[in-house]
Structure 1
Amino acid sequence: MRLTGKWNKQTYQLVRKLGSGATGTVYLANSARGQVAIKLAENNMAIASEVNVLKHFSKVQGQVLGPSLLDVDDMVTITGTYPFYVMEYLKGTELIYYMQKRGPEWVGILIVQLLDDLKRLHQAGWVFGDLKPDNLLVVGPPARIRWIDVGGTTMMGRSIKEYTEFFDRGYWGLGTRKAEPAYDLFAIVMVMINCYYPRRFEKQMDKPILQLKKAIYSKEALYPYREVMVKALQSKFEDAEAMRKAMIQAMSRGVSGHSFPEKKTPRPLRHQVKKRKGKKTSNLVEIFLFISFLLLVYILYLFGQMM
């Protein structure tokens, strides 16, 4: 299907459907600029709201947080006129697949980066709202999270207009749906959990906080961040920057080797002591090398951001 804007006369060749939501359908298209993403809708107000958000994203401390806005126009057909906007087409890997492929050491690195972006968004007066892996892509190198759907973005202080139950603190009975930083920080924790429970799960207990704690403590890769995650679930962080710093501290504490749960083992016999000491030393070396790798990757990421 070929689409030509009524006002700007730009022509786009629709290739395939990328996804759909409450406010419209997104298509991949070819254009004079190359491949782009086009969102078509029936509601002018919904399109106007999202366009406004994308314009604000481009002004957040000079950094584009979501897709770049390229064009806004109307499509005229025999059945009526439909508004659309054109945005940058981001090529990347879905967050959950990226985590499964690259390994657990990337959890902290990517979440720290996402929190830094949220800090800028919140300072500009917006809350992302519908924050979930489906709306996140990892692009690069260097590896960087980009947001691909801003339909749920809401001005601070208003009611969240779009949400997905699993990531919504209201669903879990752990807060309201008021647009505030703590709402997004709760969703960040649920994104981390979803990376290790891809099928998600439903609320099953009278005290859902206990269910979520159990999910966190059951995954060794999440254990270093358990205190940070539980604190965010209970809306105890003042802002995204406070949670970001706590995540960095949790990453660095791993060097001590005390971030993972200690397993109780029988007291060794005397003739086993030397063997156990050698094994303990080997484990400490492995932990040190793992954390060194983690910090090296994060330093390389920061260096890539400055280039």
Structure 2
Amino acid sequence: MKKPVFNLTSGTVVRGKWNHHAYHIIQKLGEGACGVVYLCQKNGEKYALKVGTESSRLMLEVNMLKKFSKVQGVKLGPSFVDVDDWLPTEGSNYPFYVMEYINGQSFSEFLKGKKKEWVGIGAMQVLSDLEHLHNAGYVFGDLKTDNLLVADSKVQWIDVGGVTGIGRAIKEYTEFYDRGYWGYGSRRAEPSYDLFAVTMIMLETVYPQRFTAKKDPKMTLQDKLKQADLPSDYKRVISACWQGRYHSATEMKEALGHILMKRVQPTKPSVRKGIQTDSSEWGEMLGVSFISLSFYGISMWNLWL
């Protein structure tokens, strides 16, 4: 499908036909299969505005945003704000919607300067949110680093355009994260499709330029995993996922959790210089965002990298 082309410059005003709200464009944030996302401002507040050409496609995303505002008591993705039509010129009509703007770092930027164990911590956060999504009957589909930001010590989703009901065909995907491209399964929407994408996100922290399949896609991927600068325990989890050993996000998260448990040391913070700072941030990401430290019997101050 040909992507719509928009080039809204800073200062452009997008005014809704029906609700009459005016949004002042600041800059482009990114684009997806059916629209372009811009940072905008209204009454001093910043938002993310997505404009496209297909009302039906954008309305599907709007419905997902509304649905995921609170799934099983957990907020998934940005909050929905507004939906309307924009008529920039006579005879033109472009649907758009506005959502919460999440001001954070890209996953790769967040990991810079941190030890490799943080790859697993981030993956566990994504898997925790996937648990709720899968239990609600959906898969994320187009799960990739482009759709992830780290804000307030939490990995957050910023695009729900690829979310698909379990059992249906995946409607949007990116080859690098797609198990079908690598020969590891179909493009049927099921939890294991998302789990494969999580392993590719983990690999991408080592191969930021990504890579493409050679003559034998599976062999290409296996060779890249062998050469990857990741802890061997993480490699075993990734390989197990490719072999279909995990049927749910819970199972894969628990496998990573046991690996992190091995990093626990019965040492007080004062004994090792710098432990309190690393432990506090790690503990916050584990405890506040998605998992109870007591579940694993972990004391925040006993975590060190």
- Per the normalisation by structure 1, the TM-score is 0.82
- Report how far residue 222 of structure 1 moved: 3.7
1:151–1:162 Cα contact (<8 Å) kept? yes
- 1:188 equivalent in structure 2: 198
- 2:145 equivalent in structure 1: 133
- 1:175 equivalent in structure 2: 185
SS of match in other structure, 2:230: helix
Q: Can you give the 5+ residue segments of structure 2 that lack an aligned partner in the other structure? A: 1-11, 266-271, 291-305
The whole-number CA distance in structure 1 between the counterparts of 2:79 and 2:106 is 19
- Report how far residue 305 of structure 1 moved: 3.8
Of the three residues 203, 216, 219, the one matched with 2:225 is 216
2:120–2:202 Cα contact (<8 Å) kept? no
The whole-number CA distance in structure 2 between the counterparts of 1:290 and 1:112 is 24
Note the 1:82-231 alignment, pairs <5 A.
82-140=94-152, 143-206=153-216, 208-231=217-240
Residue identity in the other structure for 2:142: D
Structure 1 residues 33 and 119: alpha-carbon distance in aligned structure 2, compared to 1, 3 A threshold: farther
2:125–2:289 Cα contact (<8 Å) kept? no
Residues 1:61 and 2:72 are matched in the alignment: yes
Tell which structure's C-alpha radius of gyration is larger: 1
Residues 1:232 and 2:241 are matched in the alignment: yes
- Report how far residue 100 of structure 1 moved: 2.2
Count of aligned positions: 273
The whole-number CA distance in structure 2 between the counterparts of 1:121 and 1:291 is 34
The whole-number CA distance in structure 2 between the counterparts of 1:61 and 1:67 is 16
The whole-number CA distance in structure 2 between the counterparts of 1:57 and 1:149 is 12
The whole-number CA distance in structure 1 between the counterparts of 2:248 and 2:276 is 28
Residue identity in the other structure for 2:72: Q
1:135–1:147 Cα contact (<8 Å) kept? yes
Residue identity in the other structure for 1:90: I
- 1:50 equivalent in structure 2: 61
1:182–1:239 Cα contact (<8 Å) kept? yes
- Report how far residue 151 of structure 1 moved: 1.1
2:16–2:85 Cα contact (<8 Å) kept? yes
- Report how far residue 254 of structure 1 moved: 5.0
CA RMSD of the aligned region, Å? 2.4
Structure 1 residues 122 and 33: alpha-carbon distance in aligned structure 2, compared to 1, 3 A threshold: farther
Residues 1:31 and 2:42 are matched in the alignment: yes
Structure 1 residues 289 and 190: alpha-carbon distance in aligned structure 2, compared to 1, 3 A threshold: farther
SS of match in other structure, 1:152: coil
Structure 1 residues 255 and 299: alpha-carbon distance in aligned structure 2, compared to 1, 3 A threshold: closer
Note the 1:237-252 alignment, pairs <5 A.
237-252=246-261
The whole-number CA distance in structure 2 between the counterparts of 1:89 and 1:64 is 14
Identity %, equivalent residues: 43
Structure 1 residues 305 and 198: alpha-carbon distance in aligned structure 2, compared to 1, 3 A threshold: closer
Deviation by residue 1:153-185 (Cα, 9 ceiling, x = unmatched) = 111111111111010000001100000000000
Of the three residues 24, 40, 48, the one matched with 1:13 is 24
- Report how far residue 214 of structure 1 moved: 2.6
SS of match in other structure, 2:113: helix
- Report how far residue 255 of structure 1 moved: 6.2
Deviation by residue 1:220-254 (Cα, 9 ceiling, x = unmatched) = 43422112111112232111001100111122235
- Report how far residue 302 of structure 1 moved: 3.8
Of the three residues 22, 38, 42, the one matched with 2:33 is 22
